C-alpha cells in the first residue's frame, strides 16, 4: 500500500509516518515506480509495527528505546526472558511515574480544597509532596 493508504490504515498523519521512516522505526519497501523518487510500499506487517510503536510510546518508551527494541526483535533476539526483563523494567518506570502523578494530584486537590475554603492559613505546599 502507498503512504496515503498506510496513513488511513494506521490512523497516523503522513508527517508522523515520514518521521518514523527517517528515524528507522518503519522500513517500507521501495517500489520501482516513481522514477528518481520511488514510492514507499507498506505491507500489513508495517501496520502492525506502526501500532506497536504507538503502543510503546503510550507506555512511556522513548523513540530511541523503541528503535533499539525493534531492531533487537528483528534480529531474532527476543527470548521470553529478555521480553520479561524489558517489560518488568517498563513496569517499574511506570510505577514511578504513577507515584509522581498521584502526589501531584494530591497537591492539586489540596490546593482546590484550600481555595474553596477561602484560603485560610496553611496553604498546601508543593514541597510536602514527592512530585
Q: Are the CB atoms for 97 and 58 separated by under 8 Å?
A: no
Beta-bridge partners for 12: none
| CB neighbour class for 104 (10 Å; exposed up to 12, middle 13-18, buried from 19) | middle
Is pLDDT at 121 greater than 90 in this prediction?
no
Least confident stretch, 4-8, 50-54, 100-104, 125-129: 125-129
**Domains along the chain with CATH numbers:** 3-78 (1.10.1660.10), 81-128 (no CATH)
Closest CA to 5 of 43, 57, 49, 53: 43
Single pTM value for the model = 0.70
Write down the pLDDT at residue 22.
94
Measured between alpha carbons, how far is 99 from 131 in angstroms, rounded to an integer? Answer: 8
Q: What is the CA radius of gyration of the chain?
A: 22
Encode pLDDT of 26-64 as tens digits.
999 987 565 666 788 999 999 999 999 999 999 889 999
- pLDDT for the residue numbered 59: 87
Average pLDDT, the chain: 89
pLDDT greater than 80 at residue 84? yes
Nearest CA among 13, 17, 12, 37 for reference residue 28 = 17
pLDDT computed for residue 131 by the predictor: 64
Amino acid at each position: 500500500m502507498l503512504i496515503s493508504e498506510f496513513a488511513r490504515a494506521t490512523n497516523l498523519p503522513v508527517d508522523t509516518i515520514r518521521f518514523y521512516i527517517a528515524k528507522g522505526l518503519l522500513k517500507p519497501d521501495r517500489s520501482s515506480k516513481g522514477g528518481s523518487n520511488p514510492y514507499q510500499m507498506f505491507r500489513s506487517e508495517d501496520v502492525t509495527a506502526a501500532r506497536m510503536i504507538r503502543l510503546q510510546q503510550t507506555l512511556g518508551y522513548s523513540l530511541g528505546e523503541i528503535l533499539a527494541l525493534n531492531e533487537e526483535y528483528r534480529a531474532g533476539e527476543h527470548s521470553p526472558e529478555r521480553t520479561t526483563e524489558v517489560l518488568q523494567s517498563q513496569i517499574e518506570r511506570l510505577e514511578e511515574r504513577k507515584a509522581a502523578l498521584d502526589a501531584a494530584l494530591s497537591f492539586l486537590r489540596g490546593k482546590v480544597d484550600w481555595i474553596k475554603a477561602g484560603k485560610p492559613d496553611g496553604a498546601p505546599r508543593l514541597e510536602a509532596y514527592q512530585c
